[in-house]
Structure 1
Amino acid sequence: MNDEDMAAGLDALVPRLRQFVAVAREEHLTRAAEQLGVPQPTLSRSIARLEAELGVPLFSRPGRSVKLTRHGRLLFEYSERTLTTLAAQLRLLAEETDPARGRVALAFLHTLGTDAVPRMLRDFRATHPAVRFVLVQGSADMLLARLRAGEADLCLTAPLPNEPGIVTRKLDSQRIDLVVPAGHRLARRRGVRLAEAAAEDFIGMPPGHGLRTISNELCRAAGFEPRIAFEGEETATCRGLVGAG
């Protein structure tokens, strides 16, 4: 059998697979038809067409019953296993999408992992205890890539993306501070214009992180490009390095 014949065989087999397995289990066309909820003549014609298209007899017909032939037993072994596996996967899919018991893939920025996300999950699980979460942290670019690919259901990120196919909603605001070492010339000031720090070396997130995008935009709005001395993916690391001078 060449590839074209095999493809044609699959086209014929897949829609009739459940019918074939039902007849093989019952060894009786009438009982199988009742189980499937189809007229017995319709089921008989479907099995006959399947045998004709595969080019082998699947059943022998002694009396009023039917029995699997050698070729029928070979097909039945794999067909039954395939249907069982498919049914299990469909049940898993139903559980995954059940609003009361499903699983949610939540992607979020590193900066939200210390307080905001744990608080949100605690509050949500108080009223939906059976819902499970898969948590992913990363940069804004990586999180959005997962969202576009369908690997994440929800994404907590900033700045908000503006592109087709993604629905956004502002949930909260976070203040962004300019952090300097103790003893720095700006350290004891109650207020600072960002332009006053234009000559300083900056420590920040790598490109692709939302905070880096926002901080770059703020610096450009203040009239300068920030000179980046070091890039770190964790805000705690960045603050520690600033504190060390």
Structure 2
Amino acid sequence: MAHKQSSEARLSPSSDTEDIVTTLAPRLSYFAAVARTEHVTRAAHELGIPQSTLSRALVRLEQDLGVELFARHGRTVSLTPAGRTFLTSVDKALAEVGRAAESVRADADPASGKVAFGFLHTMGSETVPGLIRAFRADHPRIRFSLVQNYGEAMLERLRAGELDLCLTSPIPDAPGLVARRLDEQRLRLVVPDEHRLAGRKRVRLAEAADETFVTLEPGYGLRRITDGLCTEAGFKPRIAFEGEETETLRGLVAAGLGVALLPPPAVPRPGVVELTVTGQRAVREIGVAWLDGHPDTPPVAAFKKFLLSRRGKLLSEWTRAEE
């Protein structure tokens, strides 16, 4: 059956893809149901809509596409060659939508959903595994997508919706984000075990003013803290090496290539001595951040509540700041 149509009714070849999808998408399941049953009345009954509504939708779909999808045979219909071609892609599209729906439902399931969680590299060897182990004692089926990165990169992924929560330092104070302090670590001056200060237990940072430092790259929270503490101590650090991992920096210190301000390691490393810094508050605060106003799925809400309950005891006794 031919359809007369105005130039306004039909989508032009130059229409944007977004406009075409917006126009066609609501009718795809109607088309697929009729294609499967080859009967408009039966398809309308399965869909739970009036037959007249379904018939009008099919006519409009054909008008929008500018092709005939069905050949009418009384009360039954059959696909035209164009209809069979269209059905192949429609079936794939609807199946993909179904898989996407199942995926997001599964991720939001209170018992077995998923949490996208970011954290600092320095918290990956001990702190985060311990947190997840403790959390899963009461939530054994909840899954995690884990991302290790430096603070600014994680906050960008948080803003982009790629993360639900992240542990970071310094604690951000930025529009659109909510952050809560959880704990703090005392930073130590790490020196080679044969260094002139290695026999000491405590040191003022100003005593290292003439030393060569190894640090994290600009953009890392710990680098900003290091620069700030050195400025407070009255000097600008002379930097020989910049890296991305604190344990790499410890290796450089052990090799005699400089000194570093670092949080305590999960396991003491040979070849270096870790000195307590006195005379100023040499700490880094650890906090959890999330998007302001962003609705939490039940798994995310449960893990957020768990993290907030760990305030002051997020870190191990070895890595926590000394009072």
| Matching residue of 1:110 | 121
What is the rounded CA distance, in whole Å, between the counterparts of 1:190 and 1:57 in structure 2? 85
Alpha-carbon separation, structure 2, partners of 1:179 and 1:47: 73
Aligned AA (1:175):
R
Aligned length: 245
Query: In structure 1, what is the Cα distance between the partners aligned to 2:30 and 2:36?
Result: 10
Larger strand share, 1 or 2: 2
Gaps of 5+ in 2: 1-11, 257-323
Give the Cα separation in 2 of the matches to 1:22 and 1:14.
Answer: 14
24-33 or 50-59, which moves further after superposition?
Answer: 50-59
Q: Is residue 217 from structure 1 mapped to residue 218 from structure 2 by the alignment?
A: no
TM-aligned CA deviation for residue 206 of structure 1: 1.6
- CA-based RMSD: 2.2
Letter of the 2:148 counterpart: Q
- Which amino acid in structure 1 is aligned with residue 165 of structure 2? L
| 1:228 maps onto 2:228 in alignment | no
1: CA distance, partners of 2:16 / 2:210: 73
Q: Measure how far apart 1:19 and its partner are.
A: 0.8
> 50, 54, 64: which one pairs with 2:61?
50
Q: Which runs of 5+ in 1 are unaligned?
A: none
SS in 2 for 1:180: strand
Q: How far has the Cα of 1:29 moved from its partner?
A: 1.5
Matched to 1:128, the amino acid is H
Matched residue of 1:172: which SS? Answer: strand
- Cα 1:38/1:101, change in 2 over 3 Å: same
Distance 2:16 2:122 in 1: 57
In 2, the alpha carbon distance for the partners of 1:172 and 1:231 equals 26
- Bigger relative contact order, structure 1 or 2, given CA contacts below 8 A and separation 6+? 2
What's the counterpart of residue 139 of structure 2?
128
3-state secondary structure, aligned to 1:168: strand
Superposed, 1:187-198 pairs within 5 Å as 187-198=198-209
Name the CA distance, whole Å, in 2 between partners of 1:91 and 1:207: 42
> For 2:142 and 2:26, how far apart are their aligned partners in 1?
35
1-structure distance, mates of 2:65, 2:13:
13
For 2:100, the aligned partner's letter is Q
Query: Who is 1:159 aligned against?
Result: 170
Matched, 1:14 2:14: no
Is 1:176 matched with 2:187? yes
Higher helix share: 1
Specify whether residues 191 and 37 from structure 1 end up closer, same or farther in structure 2 by C-alpha distance, changes over 3 A only: same
1: CA distance, partners of 2:242 / 2:65: 63
Once residues 87 and 188 of structure 2 are traced to their aligned partners in structure 1, the CA distance between those partners, rounded to angstroms, is 68
- TM-score normalised by length of structure 2: 0.69
Give distance in 2, aligned partners of 1:105 and 1:5: 34
- Go from structure 1 to structure 2 and tell me whether the alpha carbon gap of 1:33 and 1:112 turns closer, same or farther (over 3 Å shift): same
Shift of 1:194: 1.7
- Secondary structure at 2:188 match in 1: coil
CA distance in 2, matches of 1:114, 1:67: 62
2:86 to 54, 75, 85: 75
Equivalent-residue separation in structure 1 for 2:64 and 2:145 (angstroms)? 46
